[in-house]
């Protein structure tokens, strides 16, 4: 969204016939707001520190990924958090886990444990083989590598997958104008219906399905198609959808798009981008969620703009974050990723208006 100094905020547009009704989450500093489709706040949670990202869990608790001082960059890389906390509807912390080597995402299992992206230094021989990136004096001698961490309900921490064990550095080079502090920047993690990990690696522009028992890469897609994508998820039809940021596209302008790809043949089944390229951009974050009526709910993270488009790519609902806060990037209205909930969803707080 091209920035205008006097841009409208809050609910900007709604087509009552075509937009899906419901509720959406908007983390703002230490408060997470649940708003309805008219833009009114219907519930709020107060977290123990700043919230990078929040999602309602199946039992109705609010999962929050916590950050410390918003103005300070993480010691490893962007996307780092201080830990996880679950809040009840009254903002009580009912479970928490502190860990500053986690980053970006968390996926809760039925037993209450979590899978999370994490960091650890790559083995020296693997670190030396990492290709690409723009060298800088600040680069560490050993590059940080992605891991998947399992966190038990009792706080037990166990690394269950390492990029250095399953990925060839030669086959997955870092974007040539990115830094060499880490490889390969896992920015989303989910479980597929058949029980494997579905992840996104931003700095190598790669989406991967990883066998949860063997660590093998079962499917990869993205290089040459996407550029620094986020929020990869499996749809009910088996296709894979993602927010393709496009900030370092090769020989093209840096426009964003939402892409739905058929994993069986690698072909794009559906995509959305704005006809005016400057109207849809986000250099960071972002998300896309398919709604029950077929619309797609999109988070244009950097501008704090949330909107719905139909299958025909018509924008039918639009909301813009009115809050500007400080971060280590500077003043920003960013909402890293939002989630939409239909009326009557059992995860919603009780006694909400329908």
Average pLDDT over residues 237-242: 98
Average pLDDT over residues 100-124: 97
Q: Please state, in angstroms and rounded to a whole number, the distance separating the CA atoms of residues 296 and 306.
A: 11
Average pLDDT over residues 153-170: 97
Residue 351 in domain: no
Average pLDDT over residues 224-242: 97
**What Rg value do the Cα atoms of the chain yield, rounded?**
19
Instruction: Give the model confidence (pLDDT) of 280-294 as tens digits.
Output: 999 999 999 999 999
Q: SS in 3 state form for the chain? A: CCCCCCCCCEEEEECCCCCCCCEEEEEECCEEEEEECCCCEEEEEECCCEEEEEEECCCCCEEEEEECCCCCCCCCCCCECCEEEEECCCCCEEEEEECCCEECCCEECCCCCEEEEEEEECCHHHHHHCCECCCCCCCCCCCEEEEEEEECCCCCEEEEEEHHHHCCCCCCCECCCCCCCEECCEEEEEECCCCCEEEEECCCCEEEEECCCCCCEEEEECECCECCCEEEEECCCCCEEEEECCCCCCCCCCCCEEEEECCCCCCEEEEECCCCHHHCCCCCCCEEEECCCCCEEEEEHHHCEEEEECCCCCEEEEEECCCCEEECCEEECCCCCCCEECCCCCCCCCCCCC
Split at pLDDT 50, 70, 90, the class of 1 is low
Residue 354 in domain: no
Q: Please state, in angstroms and rounded to a whole number, the distance separating the CA atoms of residues 43 and 342.
A: 15
Residue 244 in domain: yes
Average pLDDT over residues 42-47: 97
Q: Are 27 and 285 in contact (CB under 8 A)?
A: no
Q: How many domains does the chain have?
A: 1
Summary mean pLDDT of the chain: 95
What's the pLDDT score for residue 78? 85
Residue 73 in domain: yes
Average pLDDT over residues 233-251: 95
Q: Please state, in angstroms and rounded to a whole number, the distance separating the CA atoms of residues 307 and 303.
A: 12
Average pLDDT over residues 15-32: 96
The whole model's pTM is what?
Answer: 0.96
Residue 350 in domain: no
Q: Are 72 and 96 in contact (CB under 8 A)?
A: no
Instruction: Give backbone dihedrals phi and psi of 109, rounded to 5 degrees, phi first.
Output: -90, 170
What's the pLDDT score for residue 77? 84
Residue 352 in domain: no
Q: SS in 3 state form for 300-313? A: EHHHCEEEEECCCC
What's the pLDDT score for residue 2? 64
Split at pLDDT 50, 70, 90, the class of 333 is very high
| Least confident among 3-7, 99-103, 203-207, 346-350 | 3-7
Average pLDDT over residues 218-233: 97
What's the pLDDT score for residue 320? 97
Which two structure tokens, joined as six digits, stand for 57? 């869990």
What's the pLDDT score for residue 353? 61
- The CATH number linked to 335 is 2.130.10.10
Q: Are 130 and 143 in contact (CB under 8 A)?
A: yes
Residue 104 in domain: yes
Residue 349 in domain: no
Q: Which domain holds residue 99?
A: 10-341
Split at pLDDT 50, 70, 90, the class of 354 is low
């Amino acid at each position: 969204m091209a920035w205008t100094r006097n841009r409208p905020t809050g609910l900007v547009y709604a087509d009552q016939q075509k937009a899906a009704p419901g509720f959406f989450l908007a983390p703002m500093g230490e408060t997470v707001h649940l708003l309805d489709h008219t833009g009114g706040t219907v519930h709020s949670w107060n977290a123990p520190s700043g919230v990078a990202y929040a999602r309602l869990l199946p039992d109705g608790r609010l999962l929050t990924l916590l950050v410390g001082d918003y103005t300070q960059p993480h010691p490893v890389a962007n996307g780092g958090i201080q830990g996880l906390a679950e809040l009840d509807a009254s903002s009580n912390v009912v479970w928490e886990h502190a860990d500053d080597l986690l980053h970006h995402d968390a996926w809760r299992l039925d037993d209450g444990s979590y899978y999370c992206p994490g960091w650890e230094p790559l083995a020296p021989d693997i670190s030396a083989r990492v290709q690409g990136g723009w060298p800088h004096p600040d680069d560490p001698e050993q590059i940080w590598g992605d891991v998947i961490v399992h966190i038990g309900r009792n706080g037990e921490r166990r690394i269950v997958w390492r990029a250095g064990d399953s990925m060839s550095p030669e086959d997955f080079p870092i974007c040539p104008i990115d830094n060499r502090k880490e490889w390969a920047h896992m920015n989303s993690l989910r479980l597929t219906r058949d029980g494997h990990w579905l992840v996104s690696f931003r700095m190598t522009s790669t989406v991967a399905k990883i066998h949860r028992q063997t660590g093998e890469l079962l499917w990869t897609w993205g290089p040459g198609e996407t550029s620094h994508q986020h929020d990869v998820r499996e749809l009910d039809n088996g296709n894979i959808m993602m927010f393709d940021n496009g900030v370092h596209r090769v020989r093209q302008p840096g426009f964003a798009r939402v892409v739905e790809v058929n994993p069986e043949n690698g072909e794009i089944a559906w995509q959305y981008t704005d006809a005016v390229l400057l109207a849809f951009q986000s250099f960071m974050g972002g998300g896309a969620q398919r709604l029950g009526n077929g619309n797609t709910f999109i988070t244009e993270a950097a501008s704090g703009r949330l909107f719905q488009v139909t299958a025909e790519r018509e924008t039918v609902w639009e909301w813009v974050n009115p809050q500007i806060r400080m971060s280590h990037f500077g003043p920003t209205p960013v909402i890293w990723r939002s989630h939409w909930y239909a009326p009557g969803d059992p995860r919603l707080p009780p006694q909400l208006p329908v």
